[in-house]
Amino acid sequence: MGSTGERKADHLRICLDEDVEAGGDPGWSGYRFDHRALPGIAFDQIDPSTTLLGRPLAWPFLVGALTGGTERAAHLNGLLALAASAHGCGMVLGSLRPALEDPSVEASYDVRATAPGLPLLLGNIGAAQLAPSGIEGAGIEGRLVALSVRLRLDGIVVHLNPLQEALQPEGDRDWRGLAPRIATLGKALAHEGLALGVKEVGSGFSEATARWIGHLRPALVETAGTGGTSWARVEGLRAPDAARRRAGETFSGWGHPAAESLATLRARAPGVPVVASGGIRTGLDVARAIRLGAAAGAMALPLLRAASEGGAAVDALLRTLRLELRVAMFATGSLTLDDLRRVPMRGPFGARVPFARGRSP
Ligand SMILES: Cc1cc2nc3c(=O)[nH]c(=O)nc-3n(C[C@H](O)[C@H](O)[C@H](O)COP(=O)(O)O)c2cc1C
C-alpha cells in the first residue's frame, strides 16, 4: 500500500474511533420553523423529490465524499451506494487520487457495478492534485475525464482543503495558480457532458471565496462548513509530533459555520446550486438547509460510522433522515420543497429569516 493508501486508512480509523467533530456549532439548530398546528395537508401526499444536475432524486440528499482506494473502502462504498440507490439519493465518492496513482485500485470506486440504479454519482479530487507541480503532473484533466467516463460518473467535485494540507506532514502546501487549473478541469469535463463541483471539507466559504465561486460558476458548490468533521482535529490526532498535535486542536473550530457558509454562498454565488454540509445530523437539519436556500443536504461522518456496522445501519440512518425531513414538511404544511422554501422561519435571537433570493436552481 502506498503512502496515500496508508493515509486514507489512518483517516478511516481515526474518524471511526475518535471524537473528530469540531466542537463548534454548525449553526443549523439556531433556525426554527414556525409550527403549523393545522397543517392542512395529508402526510402521505408529501413529495420531497427534486432534481440535481438534471438527475431525479427522491429527496434532496447526497451521501458525502468519504472513501476509496482500499479493499475496506471498496466494501464501504458498495454498502453506501446500494443504500443511496434504494433511498433515491445521490452519492459523492472519496478522492480519486489513489486510483490516479495506482490503477489497480480503480475498482474500489466502481459503485455503479454494484448499484446501477444510483441516480447521481460524483467523483472527487483535491485541488492540490491539479497543481502543475502536483505528483500527477501534466495531463491530469484528461486522465480524470477518462476515469470519470469509465466509472460512469456524472461529474467531479474538486475539494479545497488548505487547512488539512497545512497540518499534514506530507501535505501539499503550494496552492499558487490553482484557480485557473480548476477552471480548466471544468472545461475538460464539460466537453464530455460532465459537471464540475467545488467544495470545502469542513471550514466553509468566506465572502471572497464565495465570490470566486460566483465567477467560476461550477454546476454545484458544497459548503462543508465548520461544525461537523474537523480535518484539523483528524490531522492533529494522526500527527507524529507535539507541534502538529497542538496545532490540530488550535484550528479544530477554524472557519465558517456551515449555516453561515450556506448563506454566504447563496448571496455571493447566486445561480450556483448549493449542497449544504458540515454537521448535518438530522432530516430536520436538511429541511432547515432547504429553507435557507440549499438545493440539497449531504452528510459524511455518521454515514461512515453506520457503514462500518453494515448495510442495515446505513439503510436505517437514511430512512430516519428521510422521515425527519417529511415530518418537518408536515408540521410546516409543506407538500413540496418549493412550499418548504416559503414557510416562516426564525433565526438566531428570534429574527425572521427572509426567503432565499430565487430558488436554488
Ligand atoms: C473519513 C472521511 C473521509 C473524507 N474524505 C473526503 C474526500 O476524499 N474528499 C472530500 O471532498 N471530502 C471528504 N470528506 C469530507 C466530507 O465529505 C464532508 O465534507 C465533511 O466531513 C463534513 O461533513 P460531516 O460533518 O457530515 O462529516 C471526508 C470525511 C470523512 C469523515
Predicted confidence (pLDDT) per residue in 95-108, tens digit: 999 999 999 999 99
The predicted pLDDT at position 1 comes to 40
Task: Compute the distance from residue 65 Cα to the ligand 1 centre, in Å.
Answer: 5
Mean of the pLDDT values across residues 115-144? Answer: 87
Predicted local distance difference test score (pLDDT) of residue 78: 98
What is the residue with the minimal CA distance to atom 11 of ligand 1? Answer: 159
Q: What is the dihedral of CA 336, 64, 324, 205, to 10 degrees?
A: -70
The mean per-residue pLDDT over the stretch 298-315 comes to 98
Who contacts 87 (Cβ-Cβ below 8 Å, separation ≥6)? 58, 59, 61, 315, 318, 319, 322
Judge whether residue 359 has pLDDT over 70.
no
The answer on pLDDT for 357 being more than 70 is: no
Decide if pLDDT at 270 tops 70.
Answer: yes
**What cell numbers appear for 300 in the block?**
459524511
- Please compute the mean of the pLDDT values over residues 299-310 and round it to a whole number: 98
Q: What is the mean pLDDT of the chain?
A: 95
Ligand 1 atom closest to the CA of 302, numbered from 1: 26
For ligand 1, the distance from its centroid to the CA atom of residue 318, given in whole angstroms, is 17
Model pTM score:
0.96
Arithmetic mean of pLDDT, 103-131: 97
Note the pLDDT of residue 136: 53
Mean pLDDT calculated for residue range 127-132: 90
Query: What number is the average pLDDT over the span 11-28?
Result: 92
For residue 214, the CA-to-ligand 1 centroid distance in Å is 23
- The binding-site residues of ligand 1, defined as CB within 6 angstroms of any ligand atom, are 11-12, 15, 64-67, 94-95, 124, 159, 199, 201-202, 224, 228-229, 277-280, 299-301, 304
Q: Domains plus CATH for the chain?
A: 3-344 (3.20.20.70)
Within 10 Å of residue 9's Cβ, how many Cβ atoms? Answer: 17
Q: Whose CA is nearest to atom 28 of ligand 1?
A: 66
- Residue 24 CA to ligand 1 center (angstroms) comes to 17
**Average pLDDT, integer, range 66-81:** 96
pLDDT at position 200 over 50: yes
Q: What is the pLDDT of residue 56?
A: 98
Does 318 or 8 have the greater pLDDT score?
318
Q: Residue 282's pLDDT band (boundaries 50, 70, 90)?
A: very high
Q: How confident is the model at residue 131 (pLDDT cuts 50, 70, 90)?
A: confident
